[in-house]
Amino acid sequence: MYRILCLLSILFTSVAFAQKAAPQGKRRPNVIFILSDDHAYQAISAYGSKLAQTPSIDRIASQGAILYNNVVTNSICGPSRAVLLTGKHSHINGYKLNEKQFDVNQPVFSEQLQQNGYQTAWIGKMHLGALPNGFDYLNVLPGQGQYYNPDFINSKNEKVKYTGYVTDIITQLSEEWLNKRDTVKPFFLVVGHKATHREWLPAIEDLGYYDNVNFPLPPTFYDEYIGRIAAQKQDMTIDKTMRLKEDLKVHADYDSETGYNPYNGFTPEQKTAFYNYYEKKVSKEFDEKNLSGKALVEWKYQRYMQDYLATARSLDRNIGKLLDYLDQHGLAENTVVIYASDQGFYLGEHGWFDKRFIYEQSLKTPFVIRYPGVIKPGTKVDAVVSNLDWAPTLLNVTGTSVPAQMQGQSFLPLLKGQKTSWKSAAYYHYYEYPMPHNVPPHFGIRTEQYTLARFYGPDNAWELYDIKKDPQNLNNLYGKKGYEKIISTLKAQLKKEIVQAKDNEALKILDGDINE
Ligand code: SGN
Ligand code: CA
């Protein structure tokens, strides 16, 4: 009898232990990283935008944390994703310019996740020119990808065409992968969206959604770039660079089979919907108005906003779909959800679209994260963090050790609201010049209060901005009386960052300046 009692008690204790251990095991979270393309924080209502409502992104932010100063190290697509994968600056991971091939022979953080028992997948836009290691499943758009009826490339390097709208298809493929995943293992999934990249082709259901809205011109729309030589020479204005036909679809050519044409392969239904909206309505209005000068530029701005924000509507709706999927499948509690863009974007500020500059709208990117039970709903983070910190943070969140070679730092403690020592500057270096937008290369730092930048290439020029007084970066303080001490302190800090980042190219330029 005693033995039976003993056995029973052992059995009972082990059952009790197993029950207690389960939630602990559950705490190793799944992660979904939703990464869009060129989605400006100025277009997200959680960031205070009045341009559009983004209820799904706002849902992540309000149930978790929002980062107000998440900068990137090199404001362009492929390089930003290479930084995410490696946790290293562009000059170390080798991917400085778009349209190059990512060196797949280097370590990527998803391999560490795999070693730690995660199953990993990347679905949608990747834009690395090569398929990296570290993913159990890949189904990605080749290059920039297409908005309608896009091709995808899978892990076996096979091309498969899907009919429909890219943002919907990416969500559908993500759900399909989640449905057939190995439920024994935790997962890490990147959902890479093409939206809201140029040429901003909205989903058919969103065509015309913003037609009756008059968007206010940003206060810097007619910026004359005084004191900023690089800004004077760029080729990314709504006025001169934005194309009526390709970007704004005025008398677009739906039937051309020659060269690149986003309408190639449209179904008859898709063609009719586009023709009815852009030809019969938009182009007709354009012809009737016969605009020129400021009236034309301002019309272009309205059209740009209408298409950009309509494209973003599908993005937000699809993020909502994925959040609902997590709810419906009992996954929400144990899945970290992140929404971020590869960089920021100009929505008419300085008269621009595109990105690249170290100025605020393209330097900063949206980043919201939900982690039930760990990040308190409504958390706001003002510290300057960077996409260099994304890989270390993801490793930290999943309980995976961070390799010493990574150049970023986990900001999980900041998300948890813990008091922690945090770096005082983020280092930036942009390279791609002159094509496609004539933005010269430059490097610099962003601290809580200042941006200091050194442009090189066609012209050598320094720029300094006081972000607190001049968030629009209009007033270049470099060389102005009274700023000598601030400049020398910031230059010393820049040098420290360059040395730490092991950026020899920038160091040579900086040392050259000092020896002049
Ligand atoms: C294309 C766009 C550019 C854009 C780059 C990089 N031109 O070249 O406007 O800056 O991509 O974008 S387009 O006429 O082809 O749309 S990124 O998102 O890949 O960095
Ligand atoms: Ca991009």
**Ligand 1 pocket: which of 72, 125, 198 to mutate (most atoms within 8 A of CB):** 198
Q: Where are the alpha helices (DSSP H) in 376-444?
A: 390-397, 412-415
pLDDT score, position 500:
98
CA–centroid distance, 343 to ligand 2, in Å, is 6
Q: Residue 516: pLDDT band by 50, 70, 90 thresholds?
A: low
- Which ligand 1 atom is the nearest neighbour of the CA of 80? 20
Closest ligand to Cα 127: 1
**Ligand 1 pocket: which of 74, 147, 197 to mutate (most atoms within 8 A of CB):** 197
- Whether 265 is in the pocket of ligand 1, judged by its Cβ within 6 Å, is no
Q: Look at residues 356, 385, 420 and tell me which one is the last residue of a structural domain.
A: 420
Predicted confidence (pLDDT) per residue in 332-344, tens digit: 999 999 999 999 9
**Ligand 1 pocket: which of 39, 98, 125 to mutate (most atoms within 8 A of CB):** 98
pLDDT at residue 26 above 70? no
Count: domains in the chain: 2
Q: Report the alpha-carbon distance of residue 412 to residue 393 in Å, rounded.
A: 6
User: Is residue 365 one of the residues assigned to a domain?
Assistant: yes
Please count the residues of the chain: 516
Q: Report the alpha-carbon distance of residue 311 to residue 309 in Å, rounded.
A: 5
Domain range for residue 118? 27-201+312-420
Q: Residue 15: pLDDT band by 50, 70, 90 thresholds?
A: very low
Mean pLDDT throughout 202-224? 98
Mean pLDDT in the chain?
Answer: 94
Q: Residue 99: pLDDT band by 50, 70, 90 thresholds?
A: confident
Residues 323, 178 share a domain: yes
Q: Look at residues 373, 403, 420 and tell me which one is the last residue of a structural domain.
A: 420
Q: Residue 323: pLDDT band by 50, 70, 90 thresholds?
A: very high
CA–centroid distance, 336 to ligand 1, in Å, is 30
CA–centroid distance, 280 to ligand 2, in Å, is 31
465: domain CATH number? Answer: 3.30.1120.10
Mean pLDDT throughout 451-471? 98
Is 251:477 a contact under the CB 8 Å cutoff?
no
CA–centroid distance, 359 to ligand 2, in Å, is 16
Atom 18 of ligand 1, residue of closest alpha carbon: 77
Residues 169, 33 share a domain: yes
Question: The whole model's pTM is what?
Answer: 0.94
pLDDT score, position 2:
46
Predicted confidence (pLDDT) per residue in 170-197, tens digit: 999 999 999 999 999 999 999 999 999 9
Q: Look at residues 392, 420, 448 and tell me which one is the last residue of a structural domain.
A: 420
Residue at token pair 């008859």: 268
Angle CA 261–193–48, to nearest 5 = 115
Tokens coding 154: 């899978």
- Whether 439 is in the pocket of ligand 1, judged by its Cβ within 6 Å, is no
Residue 34 phi, psi (nearest 5): -95, 115
Q: Where are the alpha helices (DSSP H) in 103-185?
A: 109-115, 166-180
Name residues whose C-beta falls within 8 Å of residue 66's C-beta, 6 or more positions apart in sequence: 46, 47, 367, 368, 379, 380, 381
Share of the chain above pLDDT 90, in %: 91
